[in-house]
Amino acid sequence: MSTASRVLELLAGRGETLAVAESLTGGLVAAELTSVPGASQVFLGSVTAYATALKQEILGVDADLLADRGAVDADVARRMAVGVRRVLGADWGVATTGVAGPEPQDGQPVGTVYVAVAGPRGVENLSLLRLNGGRADIRKESVRSVLELLSGELRAYAGAQDTEQNGGN
């Protein structure tokens, strides 16, 4: 089973929804999710905020943060995930931002990628990736990584909910 299938199955089993904010992946995360039959049960949509201004205007990333640090930043990724969750009304939001190349961006070398997850009750997680390879390789690995991060958070969140419902241990 693919990671996308696993994520969608976990979400569907809980009646939860997902939205995606993408920069360097340019819609590849959404494409991976929608390649799975039945994705429309939980996948609401995506925002491809490739231009830095759209990260602010649509996703609500702070303009000063973008001006100070640029788009390739941990806090930007986090805020993109939170923003897409809010804008599209989803239970979970994921985001990708980084440098696929061929040139460095915002003082960050090619292969620097941040993937983030935002979920119910303040669940947030982030990974910094230092990827090798060409542009296509970096984008593909970014998609895989953000879906793996989400999968892990969904499993951890489910475990935490089970513990709370059963009175802890």
CATH 3.90.950.20 corresponds to the domain 3-165: yes
Q: Are 95 and 21 in contact (CB under 8 A)?
A: yes
Helix ranges restricted to H, 15-134: 28-34, 52-57, 63-69, 74-88
Q: Where are the domains of the chain?
A: 3-165
pLDDT at 161: 62
Q: Which amino acid is it at 108?
A: Q
pLDDT at 167: 54
pLDDT at 8: 98
Pull the structure tokens for residue 122: 């303040």
**d(Cα 19, Cα 32) in Å, to the nearest integer?**
13
Low-confidence ranges of the chain (pLDDT < 50): 166, 169
pLDDT at 122: 86
